[in-house]
């Protein structure tokens, strides 16, 4: 999921609504794998 998200964000031109909330949920679910990426 992380790698796919990083690839697609290269093409985004507008900010994503509620992105901070998404990152918070990813951190809860995948905290051990996400900590180095943030």
Provide the whole-model pTM. Answer: 0.46
CA atoms of 19 and 21, how far apart (whole Å): 5
* Angle, helices 2-9/19-34, rounded to nearest 10 degrees: 140
What pLDDT, on a 0 to 100 scale, did the predictor assign at position 36? 58
CA atoms of 29 and 15, how far apart (whole Å): 23
Q: What is the 3-state secondary structure (H, E, C) of 1-38?
A: CHHHHHHHHCCCCCCCCCHHHHHHHHHHHHHHHHCCCC
Taking only the tens place, the pLDDT of each residue in 1-38 is 888 888 888 887 887 788 889 888 888 888 777 665 55
What pLDDT, on a 0 to 100 scale, did the predictor assign at position 18? 86
**Cβ(2)–Cβ(34) below 8 Å:** yes
């Amino acid at each position: 999921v992380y790698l796919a998200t990083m690839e697609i964000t290269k093409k985004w031109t507008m900010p994503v609504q509620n992105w901070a909330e998404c990152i918070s949920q990813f951190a809860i679910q995948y905290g051990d794998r996400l900590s180095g990426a943030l």
